[in-house]
Amino acid sequence: MLTEMPKELKDLSEKELERKKAIGSITTKTLSYMTNAFVERGFSWFLPVVFSKVTDPLWPDPSASIEGRIEVDMYGEKVMAMQSMIVHKITACSLLYDRLFTLSPNIRLERRDRATTGRHAYEFTQLDFEMRYASSRDVMDMVEEMTCGLISYLKRTSKEELAYLGRDLAVPERPFRVYEREAKSDEFCWVVDMPREFYDFEDPDSGFWDNYDLMLPGIGEVLSGSRRESDYDRIVRKMDRDGVRKENFRALLDLAGSGRIRPTAGAGIGLERLIAWMCGAKHVCEVQPFPRIPGLVGDL
């Protein structure tokens, strides 16, 4: 467990500010590389949603640890701060773009005891993407290629910053190992077949959950995704099984019921966790200019 939390920007020493600048440089290059990689692969870049009637229920995912949700009244309607744009991605990928990505701000009020894990923030950014008619293997192959490409790029372009941060990055071998349900590994690997929310595809015959998480050494999960459910009856059965309120997802159900939800697959990449691994940060909030530590609200 960590004994020291990341400091607020105004409280950093000159030496600590230099470290923050090095992290900022790597952040800039990471964002540049990743967004360009999606554009070059034919993805459309669309703008995020911050408040909505619909957001990821984060249930029954056993790793969810949310204290509560932020809800506000907007024009006489109750809306929520975005926890994940998964429903919006599925909808937009079905109706508008066959390949899309976005930089999505997410607010998840993590339990206060997660302040010291080093892996959690109550406000963070996901690099979300979705592909129509894609398989899990399509997603995993693309992510492996982009991850290895990013590390190679940073090794070439951020030598001074990485040396200052004491990082000697190694490009992992492909393909990454695949484990079912859990993994304790000091290498890049995938974990698959995890019982989760209604939108993750579950094979009706075998019971296999066609989902995947990318694990980073010393960080844990940095990407979570799946092949998506598109069949109306299966979605409804899973909502009933898990106690999900269908009225919260009426638009999605209406589209699925009329056959307008297409089979898609995608994922969300936690940018703070990815950058924290690249920089060797002890806490993901160290890579944020203004740390969003669970249970701690700063002055800015």
Alpha-carbon torsion 162, 171, 5, 7, what sign?
positive
Architecture of the domain whose range is 9-287: 2-Layer Sandwich (3.30)
| Neighbouring residues of 227: CB distance < 8 A, sequence distance ≥ 6 | 134, 135, 136, 200, 201, 210, 211, 263, 264, 265
Q: What tokens were used for 140?
A: 């995993």
Neighbours of 78 (CB within 10 A): 9
* Host H or E run for residue 132: strand 123-132
Q: In what order do the strands lie in the sheet with 51-52?
A: 51-52, 77-81, 71-74
Q: Is the separation of the CB atoms in 287 and 26 below 8 Å?
A: no
The separation between CA 44 and the C-alpha centre of its own chain, rounded to angstroms, equals 18
* Dist CA 9 CA 103 (whole Å): 23
Please give the C-alpha separations between residue 193 and each of 50, 84, 206, 284, 286, in angstroms, as whole numbers. Answer: 30, 20, 11, 26, 32
What is the residue extent of each domain of the chain? 9-287
Tell me, what amino acid is at 164? Answer: Y
Q: What does the pLDDT profile of the chain (300 residues) look like in tens digits?
A: 555 799 999 999 999 999 999 999 999 999 999 999 999 999 999 999 999 999 998 877 666 778 888 999 999 999 999 999 999 999 999 999 999 999 999 999 999 999 999 999 999 999 999 999 999 999 999 999 999 999 999 999 999 999 999 999 999 999 999 999 988 778 999 999 999 999 999 999 999 999 999 999 989 999 999 999 999 999 999 999 999 999 999 999 999 999 999 999 999 999 999 999 999 999 999 999 999 999 999 999
C-alpha distances in angstroms, 18 versus 11, 164, 171, 247, 264? 13, 9, 26, 50, 43
Whether the CB-CB separation of 5 and 151 falls below 8 Å is answered with no
How many C-beta atoms lie closer than 10 Å to residue 99's C-beta? 17
Q: Cis ω on the peptide bond leading into residue 175 (within 30° of 0)?
A: yes
What is the spatial distance between Cα 105 and Cα 285, in angstroms, rounded to a whole number?
Answer: 14
CA-based nearest residue to 54, from 199, 225, 250: 250
Q: How far, in Å, CA of 82 to CA of 105, rounded?
A: 7
Q: State residue 230's pLDDT score.
A: 97
pLDDT digits (tens, 9 = 90+) for 38-65: 999 999 999 999 999 999 988 776 667 7
What is the residue type of 202?
E
- Strand 77-81 to 51-52 pairing: antiparallel
